[in-house]
Structure 1
Amino acid sequence: MAHLFTPLTLRGVTLKNRIVVSPMCMYSAEDGFANDWHLVHLGSRAVGGAALVIQEATAVAPEGRITPDDLGIWKDEHLPFLRRITAFIEAQGAVPGIQLAHAGRKASHRSPWKGGTEVPSSEGGWPTVAPSALPFASTETAPQALDQTGIDQVIADFRAATRRALAAGYQVIEIHAAHGYLLHEFLSPLSNQRTDSYGGSFDNRTRLLREVTEAVRAELPADLPLLVRISATDWVADGWSADDSVALARVLQGLGVDLIDCSTGGNVAQAPIPVGPGYQVEFAARIRQETGLPTGAVGLITDARQAEDIIATGQANVVLLARELLRDPYFPLHAAQELGVELPWPNQYERAKPRRR
């Protein structure tokens, strides 16, 4: 059996293999509501053999959306269709997961194919919030620095979203603390210039993520795992670093986090990121090696043998695939064939399964 197709147990949840659908924004919702696009998009990856399907960044508050087209889980009315999605994923033998998110200063933008620019208030845009009144780009409107009341509301929003996610049938929760969104903004000294208990030192800058993690973990049953996605480096001097990420992983491990999903970047508009095959894997490997905490590797993982090598050599516990699964929803089934692993195909597709000679 290839290492890529061995099970992995996190608390009381067992993944049938090590292939995870990375959360990918579809920008296809209205007022936060999921629809048939999300059902087919997520469901087809479950049909394709992925072990864990993590739903895209789902806003814990309307002002936490990246765009007006983002999914949301800030009201109970969102739940009926989400239950339909989780039920279908589970029926295919996969585990339904959800990434809970707040976009911070990167909220209130148009979807990528609509230009990606700020949405003005005259067109339905909304004020954004951040640790400090510093815009992501010099051409953008400065966000409002959160006061204690606003910070308390963010924590409450993540807590309430967790309760709703459980009611909707999700078995894995991931906190989004990466890519320059709100929680990452608090972590990085480049975006967090506060002088109160949420700014300055490492302990202060990690405070909000710790408090959100504690709130989410408190709502989760003991047998359900909690993941955190981080940007392991800002890729610029004096920003959040790989050393910081190792230290943070140790802290999160003590708060009941079960796996660190290791991405990078997103908090600096023009960061020099050395993009290439597997360019972020080293961060997952280092955190796993130095802390013992399970990690997930993501970023230009595009073929079966590359993914197998990451797992077989102990660089990460799972691989999270994004664009490759957009190109090929059935990547896990095809990867199994390439690696010589016999996997059952869905009954409806069995007649198309390649036969060995």
Structure 2
Amino acid sequence: MNRRYPLSTRPLRLSDDLVLKNRLAFTSMGVDLADENGCATPQMTAFYKGVIEGGCAMAFLGNATVSAGSRLQSRGLALFDDAQRLSMYAVQRMASAAGVPVAVQLQHYGGQGAVLPSGAPLLTPSGIGCSRAARQSPGYRVQAMTLEHIAQVIDEFASAAWRAWQSGARVVQLQAANGYLLSSFLSPRFNQRTDAYGGSEENRARLLLEVIRAIRARTDNGLIVTVRLGIDDLLGDEGLQFTELEETVQALNQSGICALECSMSVGASFHRLFTPSREMDNYLHTGVKVIKGSARVPVGFAGFIDGLDKAERLLGDEVCDWVGMSRALFADNQLINKTLQGRARDVDRCLWDGRCFSDKSDPRMSRVFCCVNPNYPRPTFN
């Protein structure tokens, strides 16, 4: 352990056979480095190699869609066919050689996905769409899922998890946050169903728990499952709030998952997390601490964490058990190493201006770029 950062550099046990070397992770960030078929590329492997060589204990491979009927970006990662599975071997071989797991985040975009070429409506719990997506996408339509749709989605998640496992991944993360499909079932704002998948908190968590059971069955409990859990929609009383998740967290404790990552916001409230503020920071920390109070697995989060000094404070205040960084490590892959080596002044600091988010909706951009990292500088246009 580092004497200045003893909590951040303390190992973390996720399972009987996986102990992380520290409490610091690169959390999921859609950098759009797959090819047009959703396959991982050499550029993606090189990017994650740079990240994990920077000192983090685990990295999350962001937004691998489980369904051909759910995409967001043309170069977004996918895991619904065997060509995509085979493309992930290189990433996982690299991770194994480095001794740092690269977890695959499994995603279904639901009503926040892109309009399909077929024009088919996007799947949602109750036919309630995302106002932000609707403004951005001509032809945007959604539909309420039938029980047949639900069974299909459960199978798609289980199949994608099996493909991740077969590619060498030791860990997957279910994206159940930020307004995407699993998250939208948890939210009373977007889930207004009257069947077994809606109404009570228990019913709204049913789909997530059935997905976990299906993955564990499909992989013979050989895959470590974690969950990125949406704990607050940031939509006030009409949306999900962190005070309404105790039953869900208790059920997740019993489900066999090994870790939780807390996150806030949905498509309509993403803008509230683009720029740091003391008020939002405090609200986020309060929510994470509430979830940690009910959880029996390690709880982490990512949000406005700019380096190890803040990570150490959060761990010391028992806000969380592990700390995620995405934008900060995107801005400087070597942030952790530089800090532990006493070179914090050399870190290229994130500007927190949110331009990396806007790259994803800019048709001129081929991927997500950075304002300060010289390895992937944002191009300029006349």
Q: TM above 0.5, one fold?
A: yes
Residue identity matched to 2:304: L
Alignment of 1:35-54 (within 5 A): 35-54=41-60
Q: Which residue of structure 2 lines up, in the alignment, with residue 55 of structure 1?
A: 61
1:294 aligns with 2:291: no
Corresponding position of 1:114: none
Secondary structure of the residue aligned to 1:232 is strand
Contact persistence 1:16–1:51 (CA under 8 A): yes
Pairs within 5 Å for 1:249-260: 249-260=249-260
List gaps (5 residues or longer) in structure 2.
345-382
Instruction: Pick the aligned partner of 2:126 from 104, 123, 132.
Output: 132
Looking at structure 1, the residues matched to 333 and 220 of structure 2 have their Cα atoms a distance apart, in angstroms, of 31
Judge conservation of contact 1:131–1:186 (CA < 8 Å) in 2: yes
Deviation at 1:337, TM superposition (A): 2.1
Cross-structure match for 1:21: 26
| Cα RMSD after superposing both structures | 2.2
Q: Which amino acid aligns with 2:290?
A: R
Q: Distance in 2 between matches of 1:31 and 1:126?
A: 19
Q: Following TM superposition, by how much is the alpha carbon of 1:61 offset from its aligned partner in structure 2, in angstroms?
A: 0.7
Query: Aligned pair count?
Result: 328
Q: Percent identity at matched positions?
A: 28
Partner of 1:90: 96
* Contact in 1 for aligned 2:8/2:311 (Cα 8 Å): yes
Query: Could you give the per-residue CA deviations for residues 239-259 of structure 1, whole angstroms, max 9, x where no partner exists?
Result: 111122333111111111221
**Residue 270 (structure 1) shift:** 7.5
Following the alignment from structure 2 to structure 1, what is the Cα–Cα distance between the partners of residues 270 and 41?
35
1:351 alignment partner in structure 2: none
Which residue of the partner structure matches residue 343 of structure 1? none
| In structure 2, C-alpha distance between the alignment counterparts of 1:55 and 1:284, rounded to whole Å | 22
Q: Which one-letter code corresponds to 1:251 in the other structure? A: A
Q: Write the distance in 1 (CA, Å) between the matches of 2:323 and 2:333.
A: 15
Residue 289 (structure 2) pairs with residue 285 (structure 1) = yes
| Runs (5+) with no aligned partner, structure 1 | 109-118, 341-357
Q: How far, CA to CA, are the matches of 1:234 and 1:213 in structure 2?
A: 22
Q: Which one is further off, 170-179 or 263-272?
A: 263-272
Judged with a 3 Å threshold, the aligned counterparts in structure 2 of structure 1 residues 293 and 339 are, in CA distance, closer, same or farther, namely farther
**Residue 328 (structure 1) aligned with residue 327 (structure 2):** no
Output the CA distance in 2 between the equivalents of 1:295 and 1:23: 15
**2:363 aligned residue:** none
TM-score by length of 2: 0.80
Q: Deviations over 1:30-50 (max 9, x none)?
A: 121111221111111111111
Match of 2:373 in 1: none
Structure 2 counterpart of 1:249, one-letter code: V
1:104 maps to amino acid: G
Query: Which 10-residue stretch deviates more, 223-232 or 45-54?
Result: 223-232
